[in-house]
């Protein structure tokens, strides 16, 4: 069993990663909890809910609430519905919410846990690779029609229970999505890890490899978040690749490309800008090959307009009149934040789209 302790502002908590632990959940949940509410979505529940319920044994008689799969459930409507479910189940301060699912379920259930009775305990049970990113760091939220994650809290789980067995049924684009954030964490930390990942085909991963990469990714994220939980400084480095990714996601319409695939493409751009602006020595061509050989949908860029993407970036960063603060790399493991003018971004984006289109 692999495990790691995260030191959050409010409390320490453990991340446990192991194949099959959903079947023996009872060993990982304190018997002090008098009630459990499982929150999950209608895709995950079909595959794993029975395992989780039987994994809890006879000790608990869990309440269950299922929301529709997909980002649109991170809504005020589902938030209200889940609070009603908490009240109906008569959860009190000695109760637990178990968030079983990907990032959407974790964000939504975590926000419910953070505000019901001014905060009750919750445990994350991620069922995607991508959720290695969101399950650590304490950001929980729902969306507003005007923007993602506009309503939320900083609130940490009491535990993260990661059964890598649940990752083996993920569709190809979800595995690519997860590895988009994984390789971002590699670029933020270690040339060796980057080289290892360049050898990997994400269509053909072993459970051991996934476990290893999740643990490394979570360590990188935890290291940064522990120094800056409230994102006043270095936590911004985690946005490497995200400025363009958010613009692509928003422009295509949410759901047209997975978040991590967009990050993978945004990272490619950030590396090219780092080369141009900082003269950084980075394995950009090698990374671009990796993206393409792993079928990241880089071709979507061909149809996007530079000026529209720039507008989206400025809206995302809420900097209409100023330079965009962009996360770049001096080298692998050495991120920095650099102000880029509109002109620079336009030029770089034009070059980048030309490069992508030529492939």
- Specify the residue, 44 or 313, whose C-beta has the smaller distance to a second copy: 313
- Specify the residue, 49 or 250, whose C-beta has the smaller distance to a second copy: 250
Rule CB under 8 A: say whether 321 interacts with a second copy. Answer: no
| Residue 322 near residue 269 (C-beta atoms within 8 A) | no
- Specify the residue, 116 or 179, whose C-beta has the smaller distance to a second copy: 116
Rule CB under 8 A: say whether 235 interacts with a second copy. Answer: no
Phi–psi pair at 96, nearest 5 degrees: -130, 140
Pick the stretch among 148-156, 206-214, 241-249, 273-281 that binds a second copy (CB under 8 A): 148-156
- Specify the residue, 60 or 111, whose C-beta has the smaller distance to a second copy: 111
Among 23, 144, 256, 354, binds a second copy (CB under 8 A): 144
Among 92, 192, 289, 305, binds a second copy (CB under 8 A): 92
Rule CB under 8 A: say whether 11 interacts with a second copy. Answer: no
3-state secondary structure of 122: strand
Site size with a second copy, rule: CB under 8 A: 26
Bridge partners (DSSP) listed for residue 37: 63, 97
Rule CB under 8 A: say whether 337 interacts with a second copy. Answer: no
Cα(173)–Cα(165) distance, integer angstroms: 18
139 is in an annotated binding site: yes
Rule CB under 8 A: say whether 286 interacts with a second copy. Answer: no
Rg (CA), the chain: 20
Phi–psi pair at 200, nearest 5 degrees: -90, 135
Cα(29)–Cα(288) distance, integer angstroms: 43
Among 26, 43, 89, 154, binds a second copy (CB under 8 A): 154
Cα(19)–Cα(23) distance, integer angstroms: 10
Rule CB under 8 A: say whether 83 interacts with a second copy. Answer: yes
Rule CB under 8 A: say whether 147 interacts with a second copy. Answer: yes
| Residue 97 near residue 109 (C-beta atoms within 8 A) | yes
Among 151, 300, 306, 338, binds a second copy (CB under 8 A): 151
User: What is the token pair recorded at 242?
Assistant: 């995200």
Concatenating the DSSP letter of every residue in 290-353 gives: HHHHTT--GGGGGG--HHHHHHHHHHHHT-SSS-EEEEEEEETTEEEEEEE-HHHHHHHHHHHH
Rounded to 5°, angle at Cα 231 from 296 and 129: 30
347 is in an annotated binding site: no
Among 16, 51, 70, 153, binds a second copy (CB under 8 A): 153
Bridge partners (DSSP) listed for residue 144: 147
101-130 footprint of a second copy as x/- string (CB under 8 A): ----------x--xxxxxx-----------
Question: In whole angstroms, how close is the CB of 130 to a second copy at the nearest point?
Answer: 20
| Residue 135 near residue 160 (C-beta atoms within 8 A) | yes
| Residue 253 near residue 303 (C-beta atoms within 8 A) | no
Residue positions in the annotated binding site for Zn(2+)? 181, 242, 259
Residue positions in the annotated binding site for NAD(+)? 127-128, 139, 148, 166-169
The footprint of a second copy (CB under 8 A) covers 76, 80, 83-84, 87, 90, 92, 111, 114-119, 139, 141, 144, 146-147, 149-154, 318
């Amino acid at each position: 069993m692999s495990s790691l302790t995260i030191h959050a502002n409010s409390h320490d908590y453990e991340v446990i990663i192991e194949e099959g632990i959903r079947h023996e959940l009872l060993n990982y949940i304190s018997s002090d909890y008098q009630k459990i509410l499982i929150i999950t979505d209608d895709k995950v529940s079909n595959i794993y809910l029975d395992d989780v319920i039987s994994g809890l044994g006879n000790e608990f008689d869990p309440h269950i609430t299922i929301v529709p799969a997909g980002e649109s459930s991170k809504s005020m409507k589902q938030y209200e519905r889940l609070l009603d479910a908490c009240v109906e189940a008569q959860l009190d301060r000695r109760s637990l919410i178990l968030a079983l699912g990907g990032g959407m379920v974790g964000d939504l259930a975590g926000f419910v846990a953070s505000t019901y009775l001014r905060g009750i305990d919750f445990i994350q049970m991620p069922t995607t690779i991508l959720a290695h990113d969101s399950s650590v760091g304490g950001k929980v939220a729902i969306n507003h029609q005007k923007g993602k994650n506009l309503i939320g809290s900083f609130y940490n789980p009491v535990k993260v229970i990661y059964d890598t067995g649940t990752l083996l049924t993920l569709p190809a684009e979800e595995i690519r999505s997860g590895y988009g954030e994984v390789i971002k964490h590699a670029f933020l930390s270690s040339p060796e890890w980057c080289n290892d990942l360049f050898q990997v085909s994400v269509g053909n991963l072993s459970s051991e490899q996934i476990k290893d990469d999740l643990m490394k990714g979570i360590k990188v994220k935890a290291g940064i978040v522990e120094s800056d939980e409230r994102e006043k400084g270095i936590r911004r480095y985690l946005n490497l690749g995200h400025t363009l990714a958010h613009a692509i996601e928003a422009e295509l319409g949410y759901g047209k490309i997975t978040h991590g695939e967009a990050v993978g493409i945004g990272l490619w751009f950030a590396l090219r800008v780092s080369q141009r602006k900082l003269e950084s020595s980075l394995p950009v061509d090698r990374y671009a090959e990796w993206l393409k050989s792993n079928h990241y949908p880089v071709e979507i860029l061909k149809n996007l307009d530079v000026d529209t993407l720039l507008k989206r970036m400025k809206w995302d960063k809420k900097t209409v009149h100023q330079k965009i603060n962009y996360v770049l790399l001096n080298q692998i493991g050495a991120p920095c934040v650099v102000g880029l003018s509109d002109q620079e971004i336009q030029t770089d984006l034009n070059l980048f789209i030309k490069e992508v289109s030529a492939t």
